[in-house]
Structure 1
Amino acid sequence: MFDSRPRLTEVAAVFLKLSTIGFGGPAAHIAMLEAEIVTRRQWISQAQFLDLIGLTNLIPGPSSTELAIYIGYLRAGWWGLIIAGVCFIVPAMAIVWGLAIGYDRVQAIPESIAIFASIKPVVVVLTIQAMWKLRRSAIKNIATGVAGIGAIGLFGYFDLNTLMVLLVAGFGVLLGQNWQGLRGGLPVVWLPKLELPILAIFPVITSHPSWVDVLTIFLKIGATIYGGGYVLLAFLQPELVDRTHWLTSTQLLDAIAIGQITPGPLFTTATFIGYLLAGHQGAIAATIGIFLPSFGFVALLTFWAPRLRHSRWFRSWLDGVNAGAWGAIVVVAYRLGVSTLVDWQSLAIAVVSSLLLWRWRIEAIWLIFGSATIGLIGQLARYH
C-alpha cells in the first residue's frame, strides 16, 4: 500500500507547504491536494483520491483536514497520519493565533471597529451562499426535505441544542428511508458513539471560562460536527453566544472572517475564539479540542472503511444529519442577517458582495479584504 520506509520528512514538507498557501477553504484544499499528491507526486491514483474524499465525508470533522491525515497514513503509516495532520494544522493555527492577539488589543480602536463592521455583511452573504449551495446535497428526497424543515423548526423556534437536532434528523431519515427493513429489528450499524454521551457535557457557565471549559466545548464540537466552517457557525452561535454569553455575535462573526482570510483549515477559527475566551491556554485547548477527534476518526476509518462504504443504514443516517445541519445553517443565516444588515452601508456591502460572488465568482478572501478597506476608508474620511 505504501513504501515500508518512512517518508515522514517528505510528508511534513508537503503538508507544511499546503497549510501556508492553502487559501480558499475545503474546496481549494482538495484541489491543491489533488494537484500535489495525485498529479505531481503520484502517491495515490485519481480513483483512490476520489474514494478518500467520499470516505472522509462520512465521518465528523473538517473533511479536507481528515483527507490530509488519511493521505499521510497511506504514504507513511501511523506516524505519517500524525505528521500530516499536525503539519497541515499548526502553521494555520500560528497565523490565526497571532491575529487573535492583535485583535484583542485593537478591537476597541475606531478603525478596527469600522473594519470588522464592514466585514460582517460579507460573512452573512457567504453563509447564505453556503446554505444555497448545500441545499442540493442536503435535500435529496422527501425524507431529507422533511428533516431539513423539521430542523429549522426545532432549532429556530424551539431553540433545541444543535447536536440534538442533528441526532433527531439523522435517525428520522434512517427510519424513514428504511422502515420496511425494520420488521426484523434494527440492524447492527456503526454510528459515532461519542455523540450520545457527549451531549450531556456542558461546562459550568462562569464569567471567565477556563482552558478546561474551552477544551470541553471544542472537543464536543470536533467529535460531532459534520460539514464545513459554516456548520461550525451553527454550533458556536447557540453554545458561546446564546447559552454562555462568552462571546458577542460581533466577535463570532469576526472569528469566522479571520478563518476565511487565513490559509489552512477553516476550523482554526477555534484558535481565535479560544484565545479570546482564555488567552494562550485557551487557544491551544480550542485547537486541540476541535482537531483531535479527527485523528481518532481517521484511524478508525482505516479499519471500518469497507463496512461504511456498503452500509445503507449509515448513509441514510448521514443524509439526515446533513439535512439537519443545513436547517441549522438556514436559521443562523437568518439570525445573522437580521442582526447585521441594519443600515444602508451594511446593506450596500451585502448587495455588492452578493453580485461579485454569484455573478463573477470573486473569491471570498478578496471580498473580505475589499469590505475591510471600505470600512477603513470610511472611518478615516470621518476625520477630515
Structure 2
Amino acid sequence: MGGARDILCDMSPSAPLAEVAQVFTRLGVTAFGGPAAHVAAMEDELVSRRQWVTRDEFADLVGAANLIPGPNSTELAIHLGYRRAGWRGLLVAGICFIVPAVLMVWGLAWAYGRYGGRVEVQAMLQGLQPAVLAVVVQAIWRLKGSLARTRLGGWLAIAAFIGALLGVSELYLLLGAIAIALTISASGQANGSPEAGMLFPMGALLPSGAAAAASTLSAGGIFLSFAKIGSVLFGSGYVLLSFLRGEFVTRLGVLTEGQLLDAIAVGQVTPGPVFSAATFVGYQLGGHAGALVATLGIFLPAFAGVALTAPLVHRLRTSPVLSRALDAVNAVSLALMASAVLLIGRGIAPSPAALAILIGASVLLLYTRVGAAWVLLGGAVTGLLRLLLAAS
C-alpha cells in the first residue's frame, strides 16, 4: 500500500511543484560562488541527475536568461521551474532560490546597522572593501572574451567606459548601445522584428521619476529605484555595483562608496544571487521596510521578463537582431564594471594597505584556485590584524 501511495503522490499535480520547491530551496541555501557556479550547479542537478531538460534545452534557457535584464542565474531558475511545473513552478522556483539569500543578507544588514560602527568592525570592513574590488576585477578578466567578443562590442565597451568616467548615466549608455546595434543590423529585419522590443530596458520609462521619488527615501521611492535598476541591468551580477553607485552614491548621495562595497561583499559571501545585495542597501536606506521593497523592486522584473519570454525561448535564441543587441549590451556591461572599479578604487587605493590588499587579492583570484569567499575573509582578517598591530 505504501508503494502504491507513493506512486499516486508522484502522479499528482503537486508532485512536480513540490520537487521544484525542494530543489531550489536547497540550491538557494548551498549555491555559493556567484552566477557561473549557480548555472553549473543547476546543470548538474537538473540536466545530469534529474533530467528535467536536455543539455540543448538547458543551453537555450541560459541564452534566453541572458537576453532579458536582471539576475541571470535567478532567471534561469525561474525558467527551469516553468519547464517543470508551469506558471506555479515559475513563481515557486524563483522565490525558493531567492528567499534564503535574502533572509541571510537581511540579518547581516541588521547586524551591520547595529554593530558596524565598532572600531574592530570598521577595521575588518576597511580590509574587506579592496578585496571586493579584486573579486570584480576577476569577473571582468574572466568575462572580457565573452562580453566583448566582436569588433563592434570592443568599440562600444571603450565608448561606454569613457562615458561612464565622464558621468553619463548607465541607462543612457545601454540605450545608446542598443540603438547602435539595431541600426547596424539589417534595417528591414531590425525595424520589422517584434522581438527587438524585448531588449528595450523597461526602466527607461521611469528614470527621472524613480530618482526623484527615491530622493525622499520613502518606501515607494526605494522600490521604484530598485525596480528601475532591475529592469535595465544586463550581464554579470557585478554590474550591479555600477548601477547602485550611479543611483545611490552619485545621483542621490544617500550611500557612501564604503557602504556600497560592504553590500556587494555581503551579497558575495552569502549563497544565492548577488542581487540580494539590494536587500542590504534597502535596509540601510529605510530599515526593514526599505529592505522589503528593495528586494521586491530588484527581483520583480526578472519574474516579469521570464513570464514574457518563456514561451518564446527558441525564437529568441535564433533571432539575429536580438543576438546583435545582446552583444552590444554585454559589452557596455563589461565597461560599466570596469569604470565602477576604477572610480571606487580611486577613493580607497591611496591607502598603501588597501592598495596592497587589492593587488594581492587580485593576484590570488587570477592566478590561483583560491575562491572569492576565502579572499574576502582574508581581506577582513587583514584589516583586523592591522588594527591589533597598531594598538600594540
Aligned partners of 1:147 and 1:173 also within 8 Å: no
CA contact (8 A) 2:74 2:273 kept: yes
1:165 aligned residue: 173
Q: For the Cα contact (< 8 Å) 1:144–1:173, is it kept in 2?
A: no
Deviates more, 1:275-284 or 1:350-359: 350-359
Q: What does residue 191 of structure 2 align with?
A: 186
Q: How many aligned residue pairs are there?
A: 379
TM-score (norm 1): 0.94
Correspondence list, 1:272-291, <5 A: 272-291=280-299
Q: Structure 1 residues 343 and 333, CA, compared in 2 at 3 Å: closer, same or farther? A: same
Q: Which secondary structure does the structure 2 equivalent of 1:219 belong to?
A: helix
Q: 2:115 aligns with which of 106, 119, 134?
A: 106
Correspondence list, 1:1-384, <5 A: 5-6=13-14, 7-157=16-166, 159-176=167-184, 178=185, 181-182=186-187, 186-190=191-195, 191-192=197-198, 193=200, 194-204=202-212, 209-384=217-392
User: Which structure's residues are more often helix, by fraction?
Assistant: 2
Residues 335-344 or 65-74, more deviating: 335-344
Q: Structure 1 residues 52 and 294, CA, compared in 2 at 3 Å: closer, same or farther?
A: same
Q: What amino acid does structure 1 have at the position aligned with 2:68? A: I
Deviations 1:195-231 (A, max 9, x none): 4413343332777511111100110111111012211
**RMSD of the TM alignment (CA)?**
1.9
Q: Percent identity?
A: 41
2:363, 2:150 → 1: CA distance? Answer: 30
Q: Secondary structure at the match of 1:202?
A: helix
What TM-score do you get using the length of structure 2 for normalisation?
Answer: 0.92
Residue 361 (structure 1) shift: 2.3
Residues 89-116 of structure 1, C-alpha deviations (whole Å, 9 max, x = no match): 0111000000000001111111011001
Distance 1:375 1:174, change over 3 A: same
CA shift in 2, pair 1:207/1:147, >3 Å:
closer
Q: By how many angstroms is 1:4 displaced?
A: 7.6
1:249-292: CA deviations, max 9, x gaps? 00001100111111111100000000000000110101110111
Q: 1:305 deviation in Å? A: 2.1
C-alpha separation in 2, matches of 1:212 and 1:115:
33
Secondary structure in 1 matching 2:137? helix
Deviations 1:51-97 (A, max 9, x none): 21111111111111011111111111111111111000011100000
Shift of 1:153: 2.2
Aligned 8 A contact 1:22 1:28 in 2:
yes
Gapped regions of structure 1 (runs ≥ 5): none
For the residues of structure 2 that align with 1:8 and 1:183, how far apart are their CA atoms?
A: 43
Return the letter of the residue paired with 2:107.
G
Task: Rate the CA distance shift 1:23–1:147 in 2: closer, same or farther, 3 A.
Answer: same
Q: Could you tell me which residue of structure 1 aligns to residue 4 of structure 2? A: none
How much does 1:133 deviate?
2.1
What is the CA–CA distance in structure 2 between the aligned matches of 1:160 and 1:25, rounded to whole Å? 28
Amino acid at match of 1:139: A
**Secondary structure of residue in 1 paired with 2:250:** helix
**Counterpart of 2:306 in structure 1: which amino acid?**
V
Distance change in 2, residues 1:314/1:199 (3 Å): farther
Q: Which amino acid aligns with 1:57?
A: N
Task: Give the deviation of 1:124 after TM superposition.
Answer: 1.4
